[in-house]
Copies of this chain bind each other. A is one copy, B any other.
Amino acid sequence: MTTERENASDLVVIGGGAAGMTAASRARRLRPNWRITVFERGDYVSFILCGLPYFVDDVIASHESLIVYTPEFFEKERRIEVRTGHEVRRIDPQQLLEVADLRTGRTFAHEYRKLVVATGAEAVRPKLDGIGLGNVFVLRSIDDGRRIKATLQGGGLRHAVIIGAGYVGLEMADALTIAGLQTVLIEATASILPASEPEIAEVVERELAEHGVQVRKEEMVQRLEGNRRVERAVTSRGEYPADIVIVSVGVRPAVGVLQQAGIALGPTTAVATNERMETNLPGVYAAGDVAEAHHLVTGKAAWVPLGTTANKQGRVAGENAAGGNAVFPGIVGTAAVKVFALEVARTGLTEAQAREAGFDPVVATIEHLSHAGYYPGATTLRVKLVADRPSGRLMGGQIVGREAAAKRIDVLAAALHARMDVEALVALDLSYAPPFATAWEAVQIAAQQVMGRLGRSDDP
């Protein structure tokens, strides 16, 4: 491999994000005497990528707010060796890594006894003419965020184009509008938030329009044009002036070095694991955005890269790597995003996903107040529920609104974990007080409608 060979670590973690640092910390708790080393390619560890849009629009002043703990903290408080600027180039299943120090160019070998791979996900950069121009960015790292923010603060920008209307695209539409830019959001498919129910996406699209974001659907960006810096985006339907372009067409698991080592990927192209977060290689665990998870509704592998799951998987991988016996039962696909004043939340399967997964879905979409109508400030929540026709079991739900929509989804997430049917949902003893809720919660009104459509009963 290489000439220089370092002493073995009991545990090596590749990747210093949420999953990796949680795994390292957890292992330290159980194994006070182990040598634990983290290799991180970038300059930061323990960073919070989901806060980046708020750093860009200056809601958060310093990027340091997005770093939970510094490498020094981990070294001193947890005796974890954190080596930033180090890239693992090769994984030899015979417990050896080839590592490059990106600052010096030096490569060396490092032995491990247990390994947690937490390499995360990387932004997809489509092959597009002009994608290498100045002021064309993805947003996937602290450094990406710093570059975008510096560009905005340089001033003189008027027009922004965002390619891709997923979560990051929407958050950046919000952020760039607040930063004062005329923003166009271009989505190749027929719907913004492609994983959302159309009845929910429609409300979000209205919110974007009301804040001056121009939404273009079923439109493909064909090339970016400019002179060193980007000046315009040319699409299948027209062209848009662009002083800055954000490319947010998705992420993919960072599996390059893992595949070469023979670590098996699952059907989603992320790393396959069992519920102990073990990969196919003995002593090698995977966690976080690079790993699949068991979807508790479909019973199949899914890839939903989110910080919440990264924390949970990292905890389990770290505990098991240290000789423990923890399990990560799986996910139900819960997520939330803020778009201007709207909270948009989802859990479980959409109607379309339920059909694809082989279920016969029955659905209801309702609007209901966020709290008692006679108490000031009540706003409309829109809820869509999806249930399985033969069993009545809840398959998924989405909520959009201006008051606690994000936290309201959690009761549906818990219902999915518990495999409740819509009748059980109607029977739940949920909290009520006029300033916060209605006596029947919106999700229960929706569940009653589903019951009606199942011929079980109907609304009261």
A-side residues, CB < 8 A to B, are 18, 22, 25-26, 29, 48, 50-51, 54, 59-60, 65-66, 296, 306-309, 311-312, 314-315, 319, 324, 326, 328-338, 343, 345, 347, 372-376, 404, 406-411, 413-418, 420, 424, 426-437, 439-441, 457-458, 460
**Among the listed B22, B308, B311, B437, which residue makes an inter-chain contact with A336, where contact means beta carbons less than 8 Å apart?**
B437
Q: Which of B48, B336, B458 contacts A29 (CB 8 A)?
A: B458
Whether A427 and B328, one on each chain, are in contact in the complex, defined by CB atoms closer than 8 angstroms, is yes
CA distance A413 to B444 in the complex (A): 14
Contacts of A335 in B (CB 8 A): 431-433
- Say how far A336's CB is from chain B's closest CB, in angstroms: 4
Residues of B within 8 A of A329 (CB): 424, 427
Nearest Cβ in chain B — how far from A292, in angstroms?
A: 14
Known: A48-B434, A308-B432, A414-B418. 5 other contacts (CB 8 A): A336-B432, A336-B437, A410-B411, A410-B428, A417-B424
Q: Nearest Cβ distance between residue A66 and chain B, in whole angstroms?
A: 6
Choose one: B296, B374, B437; the contact of A407 (CB below 8 Å).
B437
In-complex Cβ contact of A433 among B337, B427, B436 (8 A): B337
Determine which of B314, B336, B415, B433 lies in contact with A414 in the assembled complex, contact meaning CB atoms within 8 Å.
Answer: B415
Copies in the complex: 2
- Closest B residue to A372 by CB, please name it: B51
**Distance in angstroms between the alpha carbons of A416 and B25 in the assembled complex:** 31
**Bound CA–CA A18/B432 (angstroms):** 14
B-chain residues with CB within 8 Å of residue A440 when the two chains form the complex: 308, 311
Q: Which residues of B contact A330 (CB under 8 A)?
A: 429
> How near does chain B come to A36, taking the closest CB pair, in angstroms?
15
Q: Are A406 and B428 in contact (CB under 8 A)?
A: no
Tell me the bound Cα distance from A18 to B48 in angstroms.
47
CA distance A102 to B51 in the complex (A): 65
Q: Are B413 and A413 in contact (CB under 8 A)?
A: no
| Closest chain B residue to A306, Cβ basis | B432
Give CA–CA (A22, B416) in the complex, Å.
29
In the bound complex, do residue A430 and residue B413 qualify as a contact, i.e. CB atoms below 8 Å apart? yes
Asked if residues A60 and B375 are in contact (CB atoms below 8 Å), the reply is: yes
Q: Let me know if B431 and A407 touch, CB within 8 A.
A: yes
Q: Is the CB of A375 within 8 A of B420?
A: no
22 of the cross-chain contacts (CB-CB < 8 Å) are A22-B460, A48-B434, A50-B432, A50-B433, A51-B375, A60-B374, A306-B432, A308-B429, A308-B432, A333-B429, A338-B433, A347-B429, A407-B436, A410-B410, A413-B429, A413-B431, A414-B414, A414-B420, A415-B418, A417-B420, A417-B424, A417-B429
CB distance from A335 to the nearest CB of B (A): 7
Complex CA–CA separation, A306 to B26 (angstroms) = 44
Contacts of A375 in B (CB 8 A): 51, 54, 59-60
A59-B375, A60-B375, A424-B417 are known contacts. Are A430 and B334 too (CB-CB below 8 A)? yes
Least CB separation from A307: chain B residue:
B439
Judge whether B54 and A434 touch: CB under 8 Å.
Answer: yes
Q: Given the complex of chains A and B, what is the CA–CA distance between A307 and B437 in angstroms?
A: 12
Residue of B nearest to A167 (CB): B433
Chain B residues near A332: list those with CB within 8 A. 429
CB neighbours of A18 from chain B (8 A): 439
**Bound Cα distance from A440 to B410, whole angstroms:** 13
The 3 closest A-B pairs by CB, nearest first: A418-B418, A65-B374, A406-B436
Chain B's closest residue to A338 (CB) is B435
Asked if A315 contacts B460 (CB within 8 A), the reply is yes
A312 to B445, CA, bound (A): 12
A334 to B306, CA, bound (A): 31
The residue among A29, A296, A417 with the most chain B CB atoms within 10 A of its own CB is A417
Residue pair A25, B433 in contact (C-beta under 8 Å): no
